[in-house]
Amino acid sequence: MTAAAPGRLDRPDAEALAMARHRDAFKVLGPHDGPAGRTIRAFLPGAHSVEVLRRADRTPLGRLFEGEVPGLFEGPVSDASPYLLRIEWPGAEQETEDPYAFGPLLGELDLHLFNEGRHFRLADALGANVVTVEGVPGVRFAVWAPNAERVAVIGDFNSWDARRHPMRLRFPAGIWELFVPRLGAGAAYKFDIVGAGGMRLPAKADPVAQQAEPAPATASVVASPHSWRWSDERWMASRAERQSAAAPISIYEVHIGSWLRPADGERTALWDLATERLIPYLADLGFTHVELLPIAEHPFGGSWGYQPLGLFAPSARFGPPESFARFVDALHAANIGLLLDWVPAHFPTDPHGLARFDGTALYEYLDPREGFHRDWNTYIYNFGRHEVQGFLIASALHWLERYHVDGLRVDAVASMLYRDYSRPADAWIPNVYGGRENLEAVGFLRHLNAVVAERCPGAIVVAEESTAWPGVTAPPPDGLGFSFKWNMGWMHDTLRYIEHESIHRAYHHDDMTFGLLYAFSEKFILPISHDEVVYGKGSLLGKMPGDRWQRFANLRAYLGFMWAHPGKKLLFMGSEIAQEREWNHDAELDWPLLGDPMHAGVQRLVGDLNRLYAGEPSLHQLDSQPSGFRWLIGDDRANSVFAFLRSGEEGSSPVLVVCNMTPVPRHGYRIGVPLGGRWREIANTDSRFYGGTNLGNDGAVHSLDQPSHGQSHSVLLTLPPLATVMLRAED
């Protein structure tokens, strides 16, 4: 092989550039000094000519000439001044700095913290960031791909040409980086990756992208560097008190894409429509919080967001990131908190995503017995890898810190905790001690909750955990450190009870009482969630037995029982208007139903229950403590009647709650109470305002000096059919 002419690139290097396979572009491109002076090389396929100008005054420094390999321009320059390339393209001329004239970008501390899993502002380091380097504006790209042989950034700015912008590997961190001068926000991009052995992978979206193209497009987008100017200081200062275990927390669970849908031809971002319509609705009904099904970018809308690939990007389906920030700010101005469903358990296998990202199992476990969910056809994050733990925690903090989100509900925690989750005996690998617990996931969850508690005062983290794992809401090191846990057992038991015809409920009485055996073992949220109104389960109203009147009465009685029961509250959208059909994520809620007084009555009841729950300390202050609850009647199977007392802190008036779960009115029903005097009826789900028969206790009853149920006094009540009534002791 003949040697290259002085200053000319060796043929193998040149051909590797031309084939988008050169492993170290910085070694051959950009400025290079030698005995004969400085030579500059640029690979610009399709360019007609390239001239080098001094950056300071645009004085010509030399001209680069195209060699035997098309697109490779080389030539000497007169001095080593910072320079520009004047590139003549077909039909256009461009002046720009040379990406290969800039030195390493990320600091050693960034690389070290990332490899330790402790770079908690990861989106400021990796991904695409609009920055200024040496006085030059542009975009710094950085991506973790330690096992790749070559990585290039491709996008609309380089015609998606993998030859144009190969990146620099920062060894041993495994991060590839490149600064593209003069590029700005809005550019679409991906990463072109050559894996081990020269295998070219499908173009990959950026794992740390802060914005993405609207689906079904899959490219990442360079996000604007301008952050939202927040006006929620008062809310943030009071958030810890508003979200404590002693606070009234009533959550409206929403799939934002089907709560409301833009009218035909309406181009307003969905977040702006939600600001206009959803926030007043929440305030009118008295909900303290809204919880959104996952809004992180996800390729398949039918997953409802539970198979995300963009853990740092609000989905482009709903509008740009700044409109989401505007929505959050408006929520806080209305004194409403925001919880997001967040999915660190698994991710989909889409080829443009995290799956085998650099040709290896980088984000996921390699062995399918650890790394693949058969139920969901998804990969499981490798929680034992520091960089993956750090990636996930940084995602959580991104929502909490950048967007002022008030809490995260961690999805599918049970699937993370157990190595044998939904697996036959031969399809899982025990931990190092031979057990079924995923010790790495346990460590991750404890780490996550500790970091959130330290960095985000007042924010909460909620576990959707469906087993009896001990100490989910207990602090580390013994517990997992969550703020609250969904009470899935209560949900399943009570829904099973309410679906039975009333004549059969005597045989299922324990379904309503069993939850009190463990009600104070954790800090619980009582959820009636989206999972209960899909996949043929019917709507909440659709679960209710009997004729039309009984179905509505059953629903009202059940909601009254739920709001009086210990635990915070969560109700999925549509249940508050007694939607007849089960939820369809492709259709808006059936708002015309509110023209029917029965449906409007349920909505009015939910609003009144929220206000009652927030206004009565005894209904919320001791939600997580046994002293806040006392059974009075838990064994009247024959009549399907339940009665209990709710108590608050010292000085609060106790509240008597009575549920009659049959359509038979009961008169003169004696119940023991701890105090003499007047007991005022503060709630009755059989009220005519809600569509009931208006049977009740004429607003109040007076206690008798006749002990009953272990109490010093008693009251004689009229129990309306299929109804919950509440009475408060008055001085």
CA distances from 523 to 244, 481, 526, 582, 662 (A): 10, 11, 10, 30, 31
Sheet harboring 220-221: ordered strands across?
Answer: 150-155, 188-194, 220-221
Contact 556, 540 (CB under 8 A): no
Contact 590, 574 (CB under 8 A): yes
Q: What is the DSSP letter of 547?
A: S
Helix/strand/coil percent split, the chain, to 5: 30, 25, 45
The type of residue at 461 is: V
Burial bucket for residue 96 (CB in 10 Å: 0-12, 13-18, 19+): middle
Contact 408, 342 (CB under 8 A): yes
Contact 129, 137 (CB under 8 A): no
The CB density around residue 91, as the number of other CB atoms within 10 Å, is 6
In 134-247, the DSSP E strands lie at: 136-144, 150-155, 168-170, 175-181, 188-194, 220-221
CA distances from 545 to 233, 288, 663 (A): 48, 31, 11
Beta-bridge partner residues of 341: 409
Taking CA 212 as the corner, what is the angle to CA 206 and CA 213, rounded to the nearest 5 degrees? 125
Query: Which pLDDT belongs to residue 688?
Result: 97
In sequence order, the 6+-apart residues with CB closer than 8 A to the CB of 710 are 632, 672
Q: Is 549 helix (H, G, I), strand (E, B) or coil?
A: helix
The CB density around residue 10, as the number of other CB atoms within 10 Å, is 12
d(CA 48, CA 156): 20
The CB-side HSE value for 627 (13 A sphere, CA atoms) comes to: 7
DSSP 457-468: TT-EEEE---S-
CA distances from 528 to 252, 554, 641, 659 (A): 10, 15, 22, 19
Q: What is the DSSP letter of 674?
A: S
Taking CA 427 as the corner, what is the angle to CA 423 and CA 433, rounded to the nearest 5 degrees? 95
- Residue whose pair of structure tokens reads 């009190």 in the numeric block: 516
Q: Is 541 helix (H, G, I), strand (E, B) or coil?
A: helix
- Residue whose pair of structure tokens reads 């950009």 in the numeric block: 30
Q: Phi, psi (5° rounding) for residue 45? A: -60, 130
Burial bucket for residue 346 (CB in 10 Å: 0-12, 13-18, 19+): buried
Beta-bridge partner residues of 168: 177
Q: Is 276 helix (H, G, I), strand (E, B) or coil?
A: helix
Please provide the distance, in angstroms rounded to a whole number, between the alpha carbons at the two ends of the chain: 103
Query: Which pLDDT belongs to residue 6?
Result: 46
CA distances from 377 to 307, 380, 457, 558 (A): 10, 10, 36, 36
Contact 288, 609 (CB under 8 A): no
Phi-psi sector, 694: left (phi>0), alpha (psi -120 to 50), beta? left
Instruction: Determine the angle formed by the axes of helices 597-615 and 548-564, rounding to 10 degrees.
Output: 10
Q: Which residues of the chain have a pLDDT value below 70?
A: 1-7, 265
Let me know if 464 is a catalytic residue: yes
Tokens standing for residue 302: 């039918």
Query: Which pLDDT belongs to residue 322?
Result: 95
Query: Which pLDDT belongs to residue 265?
Result: 65
d(CA 731, CA 336): 33
- Kindly report whether the peptide bond that precedes residue 477 is cis, defined as omega within 30 degrees of 0: yes
d(CA 123, CA 323): 19
| Alpha-carbon torsion, ordered 648, 651, 656, 657, to 10 deg | -30
* Catalytic entry in 74, 341, 411, 576: 411
Helix (H) or strand (E) holding 440: helix 439-455
Helix (H) or strand (E) holding 52: strand 49-54
* Catalytic entry in 464, 465, 493, 616: 464
- Residue whose pair of structure tokens reads 């996800």 in the numeric block: 298
The CB density around residue 539, as the number of other CB atoms within 10 Å, is 22
Let me know if 241 is a catalytic residue: no
